[in-house]
């Protein structure tokens, strides 16, 4: 079973990890984000992330930005990824990784991919060399799926 696959709609997914990098059996889809980040949504996201990690015992967050289209990081994607990274930092949340799930697969985003002024990975960025085929990251990098019946997700992940 592939936990992160190709995109079907625009939304954000949160996967929580414990201190040993093991995925917790909860997945949070967020599908009502505005096209551009704003302070109200960022403050709410930061508070929610911190509270969810505290309640679940999670120690790290993996964010998957799902959206149909090419695997190229668009300017709005970069602004959201940058804003989420800053929000996590302000709320003392360890952001383990950000990924982009697009129409043809999944790619890992390096911080340099969404740094100010850069809208998409370049040939020199770490993620440009590490796009994942449709099946997601290599098996040794995949997060384990939550046990059946114990997930707190609404719908299925990308």
Angstrom distance (rounded) from CA 149 to CA 145: 11
Within 10 A of 79 (CB to CB), how many other CB atoms are there? 16
pTM over 0.75: no
The b/e string for 34-66 (b: 16+ C-beta within 10 A; e otherwise) is eeebeeebbeebbeebbebbeeeebbbbbbbbb
Q: Which two tokens stand for residue 155?
A: 């719908």
User: How do residues 41-80 score in pLDDT, each as one tens digit?
Assistant: 898 889 999 999 999 999 999 999 999 988 888 899 999 9
Sequence-separated (6 or more) residues with CB below 8 Å from residue 84: 37, 42, 45, 63, 95, 98
Sequence-separated (6 or more) residues with CB below 8 Å from residue 134: 2, 5, 6, 104, 105, 106
For residue 106, the SS3 value is: strand
Sequence-separated (6 or more) residues with CB below 8 Å from residue 138: 132
Q: Where along the chain do its domains lie? A: 11-141
Q: What's residue 22's pLDDT?
A: 95
**For the chain, which ranges sit under pLDDT 50?**
1, 118-156
Within 10 A of 149 (CB to CB), how many other CB atoms are there? 6
For residue 15, the SS3 value is: strand
User: Which numeric CATH code is attached to 11-141?
Assistant: 3.40.140
């Amino acid at each position: 079973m592939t936990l992160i696959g190709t995109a079907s709609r625009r939304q954000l997914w949160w996967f929580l990890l414990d201190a040993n990098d093991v995925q917790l059996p909860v997945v949070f889809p967020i599908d009502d984000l505005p096209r551009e980040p704003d302070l109200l949504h960022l403050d709410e996201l930061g508070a929610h992330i911190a509270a969810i990690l505290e309640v679940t015992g999670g120690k790290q967050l993996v964010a998957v930005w799902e959206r149909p289209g090419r695997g190229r990081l668009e300017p709005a994607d970069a602004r959201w990824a940058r804003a989420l990274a800053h929000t996590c930092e302000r709320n003392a949340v360890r952001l383990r990784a950000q990924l982009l799930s697009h129409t043809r697969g999944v790619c890992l985003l390096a911080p340099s991919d969404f740094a100010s002024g850069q809208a998409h990975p370049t040939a020199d960025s770490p993620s440009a060399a590490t796009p994942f085929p449709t099946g997601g990251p290599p098996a040794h990098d995949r997060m384990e799926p939550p046990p059946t019946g114990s997930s707190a997700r609404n719908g299925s992940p990308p």
